[in-house]
Amino acid sequence: MKEIAYRDALREALREEMRRDQTVFLLGEDIGRFWGGAFKVTNGLAEEFGDERVRDTPISESTIIGAAVGAAITGMRPVAEIMFGDLTALAMDQIANQAAKIRYMFGGQAKAPMVIRTPFGGGVNIASHHSQSLEAWFMHVPGLYVAVPSTPYDAKGLLKTAIRGDNPVFFCEHKLLYPLKGMIPEEEYTLPFGKADVKREGKDVTVFATMFMVHQALTAAERLSRENISVEVIDPRTLVPLDKAALLASVKKTGRIVIVSEDCKTAGVSAEIAAIVAEEAIDYLDAPIKRVAEPDTPIPFSPPLEKFVIPDENRIIKAVKEIV
């Protein structure tokens, strides 16, 4: 095992897959020699693989995704980087109406094996246009896979799986996770989609959390353990496909659930998870379902206001105590 940062784990996955398969290439704004990506994930890859396979693009998200879709249809495996997840709104036709539907509409005769990498989340004071968590948008599009890795280990293993698959994958990376360090194997590995990870075992309440909120949940669980409250933390790793079995098994064990996500509460990730539990495990619940999410407001630029709207360990602890 070795310790590595989240951004470096992503870079390792890209490097290994580019060495393994000549059809894998990268495209996006400022990912090449001059800058190495806004968050330095692609740093050094252009020097190794050349400008043809690490392609700096115009500042046009629709162009980036449109080119990736076309390349994927014709046999390449593009990995497109959108500098900030909010800007995927500028490419929604290419994502939702083209990439996601091609394999279905052509009966499998055509496919779009491509990955869209993009950072989501707040906490770095860059205001409403660069701080949203929009993963629920993409859960709503049939044909897209949605990955939400929370650790370096998960990030590398899931990205390698995403690149090798034949479906378009929307790969969400939280900005605050890029410097996070964790242990990964020295040898090659991949992780399956649709397989959740129990980040912490517990018996009193399930906390379902994604991306950076997993770490907030783990901190909350540690604090609650000092009060003899045992919290089980479930990390889905992928939202599409979703590991319902792991979610429901945990709820049946604990009888309580708090769902934590950084997106807006209305029609968000937490709403879908709550609906699944209500439909399929309500008889096992000993308390109401609790959701911890952002209020329905744009992310403020002001640091104190941003801190106020983003879920944290204190709000998770409050929600747990309300039902335990």
List the chain domain ranges.
Answer: 2-184, 197-323
Radius of gyration of the chain (CA): 19
For the chain, residues with pLDDT lower than 70 are: none
Q: What is the pLDDT of residue 108?
A: 94
pLDDT in tens, 154-176: 999 999 999 999 999 999 999 99
Which residues have a catalytic role annotated? 130
The dotted CATH code for 2-184 is: 3.40.50.970
- Do the domains at 2-184 and 197-323 have one common CATH topology? yes
Q: What is the pLDDT of residue 183?
A: 98
Domain 197-323 has what CATH class?
A: alpha beta
Q: What is the pLDDT of residue 282?
A: 97
pLDDT in tens, 280-298: 999 999 999 999 999 999 9
pLDDT in tens, 174-184: 999 999 999 99
